[in-house]
Structure 1
């Protein structure tokens, strides 16, 4: 029987190997992740996350799941919004990223309402209809089976709950796309080498962005997973898109 494969950047790898390879990437970059985010995006990632926060509709007392939450940028903001009666779960498949996020938030005095769970987005360890809002920011492209993950997220949303997917996408301007490609494949690995001593991981990140579904494809995938009123907002000329869907 032919072995089933999936993408790891521009490589074809056996499906069962992808999660481990992605894990190695994030074990490598975890400690320098925040610094690299600021350098790679020139700080614009903070604006993208602010838009996500505003579109989430999260309010006091809500229950929020931040998947692939990494170093906790969104979790910190959500904790402030839900208040002491709410609940925020910072989930990440990668133990190194989760530990960095937990240590960072504890050092910043983030409250008791935050929980930390190592979890695979494809098989979330929560009961049906648990969360008012789920976010996954810059994590879906690293998931092996994206359709399965979207179904898993939809399952644990409450009826009326919102899923927000913030992810790199396809630029809407051809000229800008050429400049963006040059930056991604020529400059980004060099920054990774200088700052994190790891060019290969950042080369993978650039490749994984190109392999991720475009805006309309991801919208259709979210609808197929059972979400309604799916829409997306392009930011920075489509370099990033925020998709939002509601569970009926």
Structure 2
């Protein structure tokens, strides 16, 4: 993948800073409006309940964090962490316009070195973020470190459909149409070319579940959405 002569972390940060203002619109367009339902399913999968404390890594514009906030209520808390200042600005503006979302805070930080003590959270989520990490295994190990025994780590991200015919049509759509949409709606075709390229290189859902296990989680599994275009992958930190 071409990062224009930059390391992946720098390239990704600059890319998401550039598209922050249109990120939510593009997500809705690309998913045909299904992204909100997918986030709700991820909230269910992590087991978010009132009074829980949940970490949302690579929170971006905070849409998943705010879904989690509804689940944990005013006696719980959600911490959304991202390294893109522009994405966090959008998240904070959205939070100010919302209500009844529990105790949510957004902080800027590095998913490779999470600024939290061991076993700080009842659950950890990451939405469309793992494929952007410079080291997938290190990022997952950090999430495992910060979740309590018995808590879940849940990823919602692009996956790889396998149905013949549909698979070919999907990748053609992704390769040709998505960058064009990015150029029209976000004035940044290269960012959405990166989305295609990173999805191509990202492990398939079956492989990602195996990597979850390698990083210390048990009962790992995946759940396909939209024919395997997107998948929820999860695992539980073993009880000590």
Taking structure 2 as the reference length, the TM-score comes to: 0.95
Q: Find the counterpart in structure 1 of residue 159 from structure 2.
A: 169
SS at match of 1:231: strand
Aligned residues: 238
**Runs of 5+ in structure 1 lacking a partner?**
1-9
C-alpha deviation, 1:194, in angstroms:
0.9
Q: Would you say 1:106 and 2:96 are equivalent positions? A: yes
Structure 2 partner of 1:127: 117
Structure 2 match to 1:156 = 146
2:223 match: secondary structure: strand
**Gaps spanning 5+ residues in structure 2: where?**
none
What root-mean-square deviation, in Å, do the aligned CA atoms of Structure 1 and Structure 2 show?
A: 1.5
Distance in 2, matches of 1:104 and 1:110, equals 13
Cα distance in 2 for residues equivalent to 1:212 and 1:236:
18
Residue number in structure 1 paired with 2:30:
40
TM-score, structure 1 as length reference = 0.92
Could you list the per-position Cα deviations for residues 10-61 of structure 1 after superposition, in whole angstroms to 9, with x for gaps in the alignment? Answer: 33788x7110000111011100011111111111112211211222211111
Give the match's secondary structure for 1:134.
Answer: strand
Runs of 4+ in 1 over 6 A off after TM superposition: none
What does 1:7-86 correspond to in 2, within 5 Å? 10-11=1-2, 17-86=7-76
- Contact 1:76–1:110, Cα closer than 8 Å, also in 2: no
TM-fit CA distance, 1:75: 1.3
Check conservation: 2:69, 2:102, Cα contact below 8 A.
Answer: no
Superposed displacement of residue 112, structure 1: 6.5
1:226 is displaced (CA, Å) by 0.6
* 1:66 match: secondary structure: strand
